[in-house]
Amino acid sequence: MRRPALAALLFLLCLPLLQAQSDPDYKSNPKFQSAIAEAKQLVKQRQIPFAIDAYKKANKIAQGRDAALLSDLFAFELRVGSFKDAAATASELEAAVSTPTEKSRAAANRGYALYLQAGDKNKSDLLNASDIALKSALADDPKNATALYLDGKVLARLGQMDAAGTQFKACLSCISPRDPSYLRTQHFAENPSLSLAKMAPAFTVTALDGTKFNLDAMGGRVVLIDFWATWCGPCNEELPHLKKIAKEFAGQPLVIISVSWDSDEAKWKQFIDKNEMTWVQYRDADHYLSKQFGVEAIPHYFTIDSDGVLTSEMLGSGSDVEGKLKKLIARVKTAPAMQAGN
């Protein structure tokens, strides 16, 4: 009877010591506080490279113990394309967190950074390292959908199509069918080699008429995305051309979606009604969708083929949008599935 009681007593005596040892005393360090404040100020000023330096200074003081700091640092390193540094930061984050879920997320971050570091040249050493990191993430959390999806892409790039398909199928069981990426993952599960193509960002938006527009639900059709605004002079110059395209390709396997930068909803609606813009309309007032496509100037066009592959990007007026659409639609019409349907 004495031993359990004694063990319990020793544990209680040691508890304050353990708590004291784990106290984040670095947070009260004026140098740490100054470095963090400087980093956040530099982020507000959009001076990201200098903000990263400030975060690294703070991280050195914290000795890699501050998970929130490391998460921010990782995100900004990715943002500026410092993928090697981001992978190292993710490794520090893995050591700083304690729960299996947190460790899984950190390992998935490391895998993603290594995947990006491999670039378009498919560097096998980095892709293999990414695969190992993502498998580590899945060991901690087998239902980490992000890790499953990324590992599918990595394995496809390594030429392991069957294994890639398995990961994409497993990912499907971990995400909701309402998730914007669900249909894309389903396409990849059916044809893993499709994941090697340059895909347009997966998204779902509610159009002006209340319907849901999901890019990956447009299977078998070509998609033209037009970023514009009512106050944009060149966009207004392009409008007759866009109306001509909508009329010329009516009844064809083509979907047009215009994405507006307008902040004034009433003015946007009036403009659409006045100019008889009868195709899909969406207002991206906060530029969330535009950022996913990397759009910083308008008018800006993207053509996407029937598999969801991003085939062209055109900026400014005078772009040969019509010519590119004709080629993509002709390809759809000559596809075996389309011919079988006819």
Task: Give DSSP secondary structure letters for 310-342.
Answer: EEEEEESTT--HHHHHHHHHHHHHTSHHHHHH-
Nearest partner of 89 among 112, 108, 64, 63, judged by Cα? 64
Confidence check: pLDDT of 252 > 70? yes
The average pLDDT across 29-38 equals: 95
CA 249 to chain centre: 31
Neighbours of 332 (CB within 10 A): 18
> Among candidates 91, 82, 37, which has minimal Cα distance to 64?
91
Backbone angles phi, psi at 98, to 5 degrees: -125, -30
Mean pLDDT of 37-41: 96
204-341 homologous superfamily: Glutaredoxin (3.40.30.10)
Mean pLDDT of the chain: 87
Name the β-bridge partners of 315: 300
* Whether the predicted pLDDT of 120 surpasses 60: yes
- pLDDT tens track for 45-84: 999 999 999 999 999 999 999 999 999 999 999 989 999 9
Q: Which pLDDT score, from 0 to 100, does residue 263 have?
A: 94
Instruction: Provide the percentage of residues in the chain whose pLDDT is more than 90.
Output: 65
In 3D, which of 21, 51, 47, 14 has the Cα closest to residue 35?
51
User: What angle, 0 to 180 degrees and rounded to 10, lies between the N-to-C axes of helices 182-190 and 161-172?
Assistant: 150
Query: pLDDT of 276-325, one tens digit each?
Result: 999 999 999 999 999 989 899 999 999 988 778 888 888 877 677 888 88
Please list the residues that pair with 57 across neighbouring strands. none
Instruction: Render pLDDT for 197-241 as a digit per residue (tens, 0 to 9).
Output: 888 888 888 999 998 888 878 777 899 999 999 999 999 999 999
Q: How confident is the model at residue 3 (pLDDT cuts 50, 70, 90)?
A: very low
Sign of the C-alpha dihedral computed for residues 157, 158, 161 and 163 taken in this order: negative
Contact 187, 216 (CB under 8 A): yes
Q: Would you kindly state where each structural domain of the chain is located, as residue ranges?
A: 27-195, 204-341
Per-residue pLDDT tens digits for 122-162: 789 999 999 999 999 999 999 999 999 999 999 999 999 99
Stronger pLDDT, 86 or 198, i.e. the higher one = 86
Q: What is the pTM of this model?
A: 0.71
Topology (CATH) of 27-195: 1.25.40
In the predicted structure, residue 24 carries a pLDDT above the cut 90:
no
Rg of the chain, C-alpha, whole Å: 25
Backbone CA torsion sign across 62, 68, 69, 73: positive
Q: What is the model's pLDDT at position 23?
A: 53
HEC string of 218-245 equals CCCCEEEEEEECCCCHHHHHHHHHHHHH
Residue 114: pLDDT over 80 = yes
- Tell me whether domains 27-195 and 204-341 share a fold: no
Q: Strand, helix or coil at 258?
A: strand
Residue 148: the pLDDT is: 97
- At residue 265, does pLDDT exceed 90? yes
Q: Above 80 in pLDDT, residue 13?
A: no
